[in-house]
Structure 1
């Protein structure tokens, strides 16, 4: 027998779906990109990280199809398989019409993708404009080749009680204070732990913050390799001192290791998306109220130096239905659909448009408010050079992360770790 709560929930869901469909039908009559007659679309996306986002996106697309008559096939694949599949599609000129990608992917196929400037201008003008980070990832030679609808923040996460026991009533805002906090946590037997290996999200976020916060950079503004510098050496030596206070074994960590160690009480400070807090809250763990997030501390450079995850949409030029592709993308970026994804994700994703800076989601739980600002504080992975094939290759090969891991592991000296990383970067940027 179905209970009253189930009945109410089912009724509410039906009303919400009906409202979405009615709203979509009205939108379809007015929006600027009218689909071609007989259009059908394929949408390739990375497999879900968050059930709420996946459900909201799927329901939005279903409403789009019902309102416009354009069937949309959704292909969900593991994140690491997105780029190989798109490489094949770009090469043979056949595959998905629209794809949800990671970081600098649009720049790998700049001559094969749709010019999305009209979509970006329409949405940006309507919703307060794009964050500069989104423009950096999205533009090539003045035109938009990819549009990121969200940013996933990766921030320091810590146990408030442990930080207080170590002598810190608030999270340090500078890198010197961060070092003292890690030393204090080790002293009280509640150490920190950060991935130095190739954990694609958490390890890269941490290692790029280490490099940039001390003034180091892989390349300069002219895309010339600039890694071998006093600032980079300072970053590696700072990392070695930090690591001396960490729980052993973080060089071998993957993106799940820090979550497990934190939730098991093995570490009291690491970095992550909102996932750790969400898991603790969902499982009713006592530590949930003792968890807090913070911005990455600012180093000697005096400005935020953070790497967060950016997910651009791209459309392919080979598509027989470019207008339908743009219509679907526009629909997903429109306010009602966008806000639905933002709020249902509860801080796991952050806005790419200024109109959502004051979204109710950022007032819903003080634990997640800090994620509101990740797009404003983030740098592109190519800093200080240009996004493109070389930057994407250097990132995928883990040059920065490997440099720190080699020095921390003791295989080589800090100077040799920097020199080895420089040689690898030169092979990429001279090719």
Structure 2
């Protein structure tokens, strides 16, 4: 851990240091002359407020959050230490289990339901933020409200999209991204037949988040579900599930063979190297392309996931902020969250994140400075969360649906079939058995 001295280094110089993923930096709460400042009832009294945060592929996201935390700490007589790590979920699980360690953390998906009894009630803060900024999207409440109480703040979601090469599509006579899954299979077939870089949507256990984004979205768009609306009755064994798997089989047959082995970064690397024409990812891949592969960047765009017989349905990749109940600095942590969720802070984060951090508050939708309003390639991503769902839909978000997500049951159901490890019926049966154990059916 690197710690910035409260008296031996100016804040300006400290913030000029490299603040990248996996690096923990204590942000000194002092003025340029090294004198301490205080913030009244939420003063840290010279202590540190610590947090585990999600690492992204956009370094500017980390740098801005560090600077924002430093600005808050400067008036609260202490320091804020934020650790950005790829393994943040595993680290948070360890903190929750031991009831010791960091004060706060960035949760993923519906983890608030898993850890609810060890998270601080943030209901008053969340309701006031919603009233101020146009109201929360429904999916935000689904993710963070447990038994009527907000156990986390739905800070933002990562807009998962299909990143595609406009120049390669043009070579097979396609100028717009297909709006249906069957249309995507048709384009993928054209690319394969033309011996051009192929479609490559990750579907493997090694790439759980990218894979889940497609697996759940495809399943739902065909009218299938892991559980009924009651949140108890396992419903995966259905004709709709078989239709969704058949679509994935058809797509896989004309896709790059690596789709069943990609990890979370493998598809990014292949896309940036020009080896594939389409892959699912956050728009952070475009951010990287502009710096590392400018020829790719100028010939790529972003599209929503296609529709199926049940319309456009999409998994929302949630990022929420929570305070662990073992923290000795709950009030300062709440105050920090209030500051970070202020439009002056959250708005700046959304601007630089290129939809990697998209607010779940409706008041941001029409702001001219938001990426979907200021960048033509991102125009179609406005309000993506409006039709989005949490794992377990159409049942309610729950501890059980979160566990099924963590088990990768839906991902593995698709992956077993396209990798040839199991037939359709067997793979559905395995998924059904796993889900019944989770949901108690």
Q: Sort the TM-score into its range (normalised by shorter chain).
A: 0.7 to 0.9
Determine the structure 2 residue equivalent to 1:4.
none
TM-score, reference length from structure 2: 0.85
Alpha-carbon offset, residue 40 of structure 1: 4.5
Query: What is the Cα deviation at residue 316 of structure 1?
Result: 2.1
Please say if residues 181 and 247 of structure 2, whose CA atoms lie closer than 8 Å, have aligned partners that are also in contact. Answer: no
The runs of 5 or more residues in structure 2 that have no matched partner are: 1-11, 17-30, 32-37
Deviations 1:344-388 (A, max 9, x none): 223332121112112313233212233333322321022122323
Instruction: Verify: 1:357 aligned to 2:369, yes or no.
Output: no
1:77 maps to what in 2?
Answer: 85
1:404 aligns with 2:411: no
Match of 2:287 in 1: 278
For 2:430, the equivalent position in structure 1 comes to: 420
For 2:94 and 2:426, the matched residues in 1 are separated by 38
Gapped runs of 5+ residues in structure 1? 1-9, 15-20, 22-27
Matched, 1:183 2:193: no
Distance in 2, matches of 1:283 and 1:85, equals 30
**1:105 Cα deviation after fit:** 1.5
| Structure-2 change in CA distance of 1:238 and 1:284 (3 Å) | closer
Once the two structures are TM-superposed, the CA of residue 69 in structure 1 deviates from its matched residue by 2.0
On the 8 A contact 2:58/2:288 being kept in 1, the answer is no
Question: Which residue is equivalent to 1:122?
Answer: 128
For the residues of structure 1 that align with 2:94 and 2:301, how far apart are their CA atoms? 43
Task: Supply the distance in 2 between the matched residues of 1:321 and 1:255 (Cα, whole angstroms).
Answer: 35
Supply the distance in 1 between the matched residues of 2:374 and 2:68 (Cα, whole angstroms): 23
Tell me the number of residue pairs that the alignment of Structure 1 and Structure 2 aligns.
Answer: 404
Local SS of the residue matching 1:73: strand
Deviations 1:242-285 (A, max 9, x none): 11110123111112121122222221111111122222211352
**Structure 1 counterpart of 2:257, from 248, 254, 263:** 248
Structure 2 CA distance for partners of 1:77 and 1:299, relative to 1, 3 Å: same
Mapped partners of 2:309, 2:141: distance in 1: 27
Residue 115 of structure 1: how far off its partner (Å): 0.9
Query: What corresponds to 2:378 in structure 1?
Result: 368
Q: Which runs of 4+ in 1 moved over 4 A?
A: none
Report how far residue 416 of structure 1 moved: 1.5
The 5 Å alignment of 1:121-200 reads: 121-190=127-196, 191-198=198-205, 199-200=207-208
Q: RMSD value over aligned CA atoms?
A: 2.4
Which position in structure 1 is the counterpart of 2:327?
A: 319
- Greater fraction helix: 1
Separation of aligned partners in 2, 1:34 and 1:298: 51
Shift of 1:36: 5.9
User: Any idea what the Cα deviations from partners look like across 1:94-123, whole Å, max 9, x if unmatched?
Assistant: 322221121121111211211111110111
**For 1:202 and 1:423, how far apart are their aligned partners in 2?**
24
Distance 1:188 1:110, change over 3 A: same
Cα separation, 2, equivalents of 1:76 and 1:286: 30
**Contact 2:283 2:356 (C-alpha < 8 Å) held by counterparts:** yes
Q: Quote the offset at 1:70 in angstroms.
A: 4.0
Q: Give me the TM-score of the superposition, normalised by structure 1.
A: 0.87
Per the alignment, residue 263 of structure 1 pairs with 272
1:289 to 275, 281, 298: 298
Give yes or no for contact 1:167–1:184 (8 Å, CA) kept in 2. Answer: no
1:332 aligns with 2:340: yes
